[in-house]
Amino acid sequence: MAQRPDPRDAQMDADSLWREEIYTDRKVGTIRALLPVRADGQTDPTRKPQYIGEAQLMTSMGPLPVSFEIEAQSLAEAVKNYAVTAKDAIERTVRELQDLRRQAASSIVIPQGGALGGGLPPGGLPGGGKIQLP
C-alpha cells in the first residue's frame, strides 16, 4: 500500500508543477486546463497538458458534481470533445448511483448484539408462542 506523505513535510515537487486555467461558457460546463510548467514558471514542452471537464447532474437531493478527463491536445480539441465525454461520464455516474441504490435496498442489517450486549437467546424469544425454534 502506498504511504501518504507526512503533512509536516509539505515539500512540493518542482518537477511536477502545473498551471491551472479555468474556461467556461457559463451555460453547459467548465474545463480546467492543467498546463505543465517548470519551476521558473515557463511552459514545460516535455509534458502534455491535461483537460478536466466538469458538469452537474441534477438529482432529487440537489446538484451532483461530475468531473472527467477529456482526451485532447489543445483547448480547442477539449471544447470539441467536451459533449461526448460529459455524456459518457454522466451515464457512468447514473449507473453507479443506480447500483448504489440497488445495493442499499437489498442490504439486510443484522444487529451484532443489541444495546445491552446480548442478542436473542438460543431458540428465539421465550414465551407463550406455539412455534419453537430448534
Structural domain includes residue 36: yes
48-64 mean pLDDT: 92
Reported pTM: 0.68
Assigned domain for 52 exists: yes
- Give the domain extent around 47: 17-103
In a domain, 38, yes or no: yes
Residue 34 lies in a domain: yes
- Percent of the chain scoring above 70 in pLDDT: 76
Q: Does the residue 72 lie in any domain?
A: yes
- Percent helix, percent strand, percent coil in the chain, to nearest 5: 25, 25, 50
- Total domains in the fold of the chain: 1
Question: Which secondary structure element, helix H or strand E, spans residue 112, and what is its range?
Answer: none
